[in-house]
Amino acid sequence: MTLETISEQKCFGGVQGVYRHDSAETKTPMRFAVYRPPQAEAGPVPVLWWLSGLTCTEENFITKAGAQRYAAEHGLMLVAPDTSPRGLDLPGEHDDYDFGSGAGFYVDATEAPWSAHYRMYSYLLHELPALVAAQFPMDPARQSIFGHSMGGHGALVLALRNPDRYRSVSAFAPIVAPSRVPWGEKAFTGYLGPDRAAWAAYDATALVPESGWRTPILIDQGEADTFLDTQLTPEVFADVAGHSGVSVTLRLQPGYDHSYYFIATFMAEHVAHHAAALTERLGP
């Protein structure tokens, strides 16, 4: 797989890079960011995947979250993909911020014309991890995932559907029940069609009872988030998870909104949450 280097900069003793490749899943060029901590010079390191929210690219996370410092301290690689395919100009793709370009919702679309390209779930589960493992010093046996808003939704779905792949999951202001809120209803109708039964495969609240997830889930939510009551409803997920025996720590943070100021404030604790799981010895 050919990899094009867009940029690389020294950062906290490691390297922050941005790269591009031609994706077989989306049939478009895809960009993604990788932070290699200084420990990667000695050999493979654990990887922590970040999924961004609506309208974002890989750039938002690497320039605003401040995660590289903590990744360097814990010896973790950070990988941040884009949020959708780019450059297609499908009908209506750029009309709204919450559907189409920048809003892939981390699903494999089944409705035309989206089904040919909007395959972010498979891209993140199969294609991009294989590429990163082939090109960077990543330890495939030690992976965790987190994200924000739409990306928090994606992180929870990928983790709950693949509990043997990821050791831990966390989220900032995630869309936890997309089948019940306007953002999710719009996206799922467009990408997956009107049959709500098909939506359950990408709804964390629907997935958690039978997921078999074993490690505690950390969720931070700003109480001043204007989307809290209409789009996010994290207490719905926490309640269902609790009744299903899945441990969720839901922290409501007074005064914080939906922005990267909120994310940066609690980033150190989320990276530490994942570092504890990624460095834990498993088995005998």
pLDDT digits (tens, 9 = 90+) for 210-219: 999 999 999 9
Nearest to 47 by CA among 120, 121, 129, 125: 129
pLDDT digits (tens, 9 = 90+) for 221-256: 999 999 999 999 999 999 999 999 999 999 999 999
Q: Quick check: is 105 in a domain? A: yes
For position 12, what pLDDT does the model report? 98
Instruction: Supply the CATH number for residue 192's domain.
Output: 3.40.50.1820
Q: Quick check: is 284 in a domain? A: no
pLDDT band at residue 280, thresholds of 50, 70 and 90? confident
Reply yes or no on whether 203 is catalytic.
no
Task: Indicate which residue of 153, 225, 270, 273 is catalytic.
Answer: 225
Nearest to 84 by CA among 112, 127, 55: 55
pLDDT band at residue 284, thresholds of 50, 70 and 90? very low
Q: Quick check: is 221 in a domain? A: yes
pLDDT digits (tens, 9 = 90+) for 116-153: 999 999 999 999 999 999 999 999 999 999 999 999 99
How many structural domains does the chain have?
1
Which residues have a Cβ under 8 Å from the Cβ of 213 and sit 6 or more positions away? 159, 160, 163, 169, 246
Residue ranges making up the domain that contains 20: 3-279
Q: Quick check: is 119 in a domain? A: yes
Q: How far apart are CA 122 and CA 197, in angstroms?
A: 20
Reply yes or no on whether 101 is catalytic.
no
Q: Quick check: is 261 in a domain? A: yes
Q: Quick check: is 198 in a domain? A: yes
Task: Indicate which residue of 23, 52, 101, 149 is catalytic.
Answer: 149
Task: Indicate which residue of 117, 258, 270, 274 is catalytic.
Answer: 258
3-state SS, residue 72 = helix
Reply yes or no on whether 258 is catalytic.
yes
Question: Mean pLDDT over all residues of the chain?
Answer: 97
For residue 282, pLDDT beyond 80? no
Q: Looking up tokens 């929870």, which residue turns up?
A: 156
75: left (phi over 0), alpha (psi -120 to 50) or beta: left
11: left (phi over 0), alpha (psi -120 to 50) or beta: beta
